[in-house]
Structure formats: C-alpha cells, structure tokens
Amino acid sequence: MIIQIKPLTATHIEAIAALEQVCFADPWSAAGLAEELHNPCARFLVAELDGIVAGYVGCHHIADEGFITNVAVSPAHRRCGVARALLTEALRQGQGLYRLTLEVRESNAPAIALYRSLGFVKDGVRPRFYSHPTEDAGIYSYYYAEK
C-alpha cells in the first residue's frame, strides 16, 4: 500500500475526530480540529492508504519554533510506516525552523524509538503532564540548526 500525505481539509475532520476518540484519553473534538483549518500557525497533515485516513500529525509553527500537537495512527495501520511518513513530511515542512518539539508519555517506548530514529533528542520531562492515567511526559526536540 502507498501512503499518501496530504494537508488536512474539511473532508478529513470527521475521520480525524474519530481517530482521536480511539487514540487518546482526552481527544480533540471535531470542532476543535476544524478550527485548525483557519489557524495560520497550524500545519496538519493526513496520511491516507487507499483513500482511507490512517493517521495524522498536527503541528504549530510560531516564529522559528514548531510544536507537534498530536501524532495519531489508527490501530489497524500501526507498524506500517504511517507515523514515520507523517513525521518525515512534518520535519521537511519545518525547514527554516530552529527546532520542532513534542511531548510523549514516558511509557510509550515505540513512539520514543521512532522519534529518536528520526533525530529527536530528549530535552526534559514534564512531571504529571498526562492524565487518564497520570504520567510524566518526555520532551523531545528535533534541532534543524544551531543558533
């Protein structure tokens, strides 16, 4: 199967909102996702496999820094390269930034391994950042260039 990475459009909102429900304890609503379509700082990308939404990544670019808000892949499409394809494109679109950061549950070893394989480094910890269950978040950054 070929993974196609596309910008988020209104036609993706319901599928992405459903994916949020499956993947996260505190999911974004369809209305919240739709607001990102009009946010000039937002860079949301969708991965499609045979026309089916398989995952997405949300980013915000502000000045010379970027922040990944969420990476989500449907359970049926995990371990198929979807997250890697999404993050690779997000990193490509971040060219010109100083860094791109994200938070990840400290127990999410597969995600951490992926981030490290792409060049992200751990910058710190946000204690008790997550709820349902309560857990620390690792802060990871991808540095494009030294200031």
Catalytic residues: 103, 115
Q: For the beta carbon of residue 84, count every other beta carbon within 10 angstroms.
A: 15
49 within 8 A of 56, measured Cβ to Cβ: no
| Antiparallel, parallel or unpaired: β 52-62 and 99-105 | unpaired
